[in-house]
Amino acid sequence: MKIATRPEGKVSFKALFEPRNIAVIGSFKEVLMGGYGVTKSLLDFGFSGNIYPVNPVYSETLGMKVYPTADQVPDVIDLAIIVTPPSAVPTVIGQCAQRGAKAAIIVSDGFAEASKEGAILQHEVVDIAHRNGMRLIGPNTIGIINTANGLVTTPYFTGYDRIQRGAVAYSSQTGIIGAQALPYEDYACPVSKMCDFGNKCDLNEIDLLEYLADDPETKVIAIHTEDIKDGRKFMDVAQRIAANKPVLVLKPGRNEASAKAVASHTGSLAGNDQIYENAFKQAGVIRVDTWQEFLEIPKVFASQPLPQGNRIAVFTVSGAAGIMAIDAAAEHGLIAAQLSSTTTDKLSMISPRLARNPVDAGQVWTIVTDFIPTIEPMITTLLGDSNVDCILLILWTSSTAQTLALVDMFQRLKPQFSKPMTVWLYGPKLSCKEELSRELETLGVPTYLNLETAAKALGIAANCNRR
């Protein structure tokens, strides 16, 4: 067994996210799970490198030759994805190392999260990997995503084949961030990378942060974690990176009951929450409160410039929703902008009742047949108002025609996008609303499932710029 230096985490993440050749070791029974599932995901999402399936029983899968063992793969292996029974993992790692593998994703479960024996085996696996100059993700993980090269490793059925390339990197300790669990295509949220650390036996958020710091695709980093093993180092690295790229954290285990549950889930201790809370604040890490916030708030940093101040304008087609938006915005440090006289003059020319913030276009919208020529100049005016630092748009769609007209409008407005915007949509048909949301995301306009999150995202962005 060759003994090599343990590669740096950052270097290993290069092998993980940018492999030329991947070996997939596991079962190839067509159950849309296991090695077959991983290989199918790589093919479905158009992975741009080479895939080498490995299994002693099969000779062919999904139109590709299957190699009996990893050391018989006729090429250098950059990344190994292992979906074998736990007991086979040590041997497989050794074989992958013989073909030069720098990193492995251990998808299999049944390690530290399952039993004491599993924990011992996990320890052994890490040891073997390090002796062979390999670093590990997992075990008990659905792996990673890189939208730049179509790398999607989930071993499960997804039912779609496209994830929008964008600037949000997700780090997590759960499979529900995976392509089989999140409707990435339906949401069209902008993703650069995703990594599910599972049991986090070796590589962790700190290593990933170091890699993402220099990743040109990533502008913002969202981390879901149940425990942080080297707190001091995490805070040092996070603080350094947060100065350039916002770092958001969702960390459950705020109370004893969930802390205990964390221990059962990934075999780690959650620690006293107040210590984390203070450390996050000190490091400039933004803590979010819910799973949906974790998914959605980063988007405001992905496509929007930072607000230059904390003055928000709300453009709405519902007066009541406008008020709720101002309410939520105020809770997150924003104030209702005092619109400039140029703006109020322009708005007054359309209707005197429009010349205030929130700009409530509801009444105007409903009395005109073609609403776009009416609302477009209003939004343009707000975009040009130097008293406004950010804009929340509340829009309604009830038909495909309306959706298309709104998308056209945003396409025309795009060159004027000079200040951050978020959008909340409502309407009588989910499909219409979701279509509009998807189209706006594709245009780089972040939309939010909850009205209050659309306001909070802008508040967090404004606060981020003030630090």
Residue list 424-443, contact with its own copies (CB under 8 A): 426-434
Q: Cα(441)–Cα(414) distance, rounded to whole angstroms?
A: 12
301 interacts with its own copies by CB under 8 A: no
Min CB(282)–its own copies separation in Å: 23
Residue from 279, 306, 336, 443 binding its own copies (CB under 8 A): 336
Q: Cα(373)–Cα(190) distance, rounded to whole angstroms?
A: 29
Min CB(431)–its own copies separation in Å: 8
Min CB(10)–its own copies separation in Å: 26
Beta strands 286-287; 220-224: pairing state: unpaired
Which is nearer to its own copies, 115 or 416 (by Cβ)? 115
The sign of the dihedral angle between the CA atoms of 109, 112, 118, 124 is: positive
366 interacts with its own copies by CB under 8 A: yes
Residue from 96, 112, 324, 461 binding its own copies (CB under 8 A): 324
Q: How many CA atoms lie within 13 A of 207 on its CB side?
A: 22
158 interacts with its own copies by CB under 8 A: yes
Cβ-Cβ contacts under 8 Å for 343 (sequence gap 6 or more):
355, 381, 382, 384, 385, 387, 388
- Cβ-contact 306, 375 below 8 angstroms: no
Give, as ranges, the residues between 183 and 222 that touch its own copies (CB under 8 A).
Answer: 183-184, 186-187
Task: Please identify, among the stretches 14-22, 130-138, 260-268, 375-383, the one whose residues bind its own copies according to the rule CB under 8 A.
Answer: 260-268
Min CB(338)–its own copies separation in Å: 11
Q: What are 253's two structure tokens?
A: 């285990």
Min CB(235)–its own copies separation in Å: 22
Number of other CB atoms surrounding residue 272 within 10 Å: 11
Task: Please identify, among the stretches 15-23, 177-185, 376-384, 439-447, the one whose residues bind its own copies according to the rule CB under 8 A.
Answer: 177-185
182 interacts with its own copies by CB under 8 A: yes
Give, as ranges, the residues between 21 and 50 that touch its own copies (CB under 8 A).
Answer: 31, 33
Which is nearer to its own copies, 159 or 377 (by Cβ)? 159
Q: Cα(207)–Cα(162) distance, rounded to whole angstroms?
A: 27
**Tokens 């958020």 sit at which residue?**
205
Q: What angle do CA 257, 174, 155 make, to 5 degrees?
A: 145
Q: Is the peptide bond before 358 cis (omega within 30 degrees of 0)?
A: yes
Residue from 69, 90, 284, 291 binding its own copies (CB under 8 A): 291
Beta strands 151-152; 144-146: pairing state: antiparallel
Cβ-Cβ contacts under 8 Å for 284 (sequence gap 6 or more):
238, 239, 242, 243, 247, 467
Q: What is the CA radius of gyration of the chain?
A: 24
Q: Residue 80: which of 124, 122, 38, 140 has the closest Cα?
A: 38
Residue from 9, 190, 358, 446 binding its own copies (CB under 8 A): 358
175 interacts with its own copies by CB under 8 A: yes
CA distances from 32 to 27, 58, 150, 163, 249 (A): 10, 16, 18, 19, 32
Q: What are 429's two structure tokens?
A: 């048909």
Residue from 4, 76, 120, 176 binding its own copies (CB under 8 A): 176
69 interacts with its own copies by CB under 8 A: no
309 interacts with its own copies by CB under 8 A: no
271 interacts with its own copies by CB under 8 A: no
Task: Please identify, among the stretches 209-217, 230-238, 250-258, 406-414, the one whose residues bind its own copies according to the rule CB under 8 A.
Answer: 250-258
- Cβ-contact 77, 22 below 8 angstroms: yes
Q: Cα(300)–Cα(333) distance, rounded to whole angstroms?
A: 16
Residue from 58, 62, 98, 109 binding its own copies (CB under 8 A): 109
Give, as ranges, the residues between 379 and 418 that touch its own copies (CB under 8 A).
Answer: 396, 398-399
Instruction: List beta partners, residue 395.
Output: 425
Q: What are 360's two structure tokens?
A: 């409530």
Min CB(216)–its own copies separation in Å: 28
Q: Cα(251)–Cα(264) distance, rounded to whole angstroms?
A: 16
Draw the binding track, 114-143, toward its own copies (x: CB under 8 A; -: no contact).
Answer: xx----------------------------
Q: Is the peptide bond before 139 cis (omega within 30 degrees of 0)?
A: yes
Q: What are 20's two structure tokens?
A: 């030329």
Residue from 331, 349, 386, 466 binding its own copies (CB under 8 A): 331
Min CB(266)–its own copies separation in Å: 7
Min CB(62)–its own copies separation in Å: 19
Min CB(404)–its own copies separation in Å: 15
Q: Cα(397)–Cα(244) distance, rounded to whole angstroms?
A: 37
Task: Please identify, among the stretches 50-58, 60-68, 130-138, 179-187, the one whose residues bind its own copies according to the rule CB under 8 A.
Answer: 179-187
Which is nearer to its own copies, 33 or 70 (by Cβ)? 33
Task: Please identify, among the stretches 89-97, 207-215, 318-326, 458-466, the one whose residues bind its own copies according to the rule CB under 8 A.
Answer: 318-326
159 interacts with its own copies by CB under 8 A: yes
Which is nearer to its own copies, 33 or 96 (by Cβ)? 33
- Cβ-contact 285, 249 below 8 angstroms: yes
333 interacts with its own copies by CB under 8 A: no
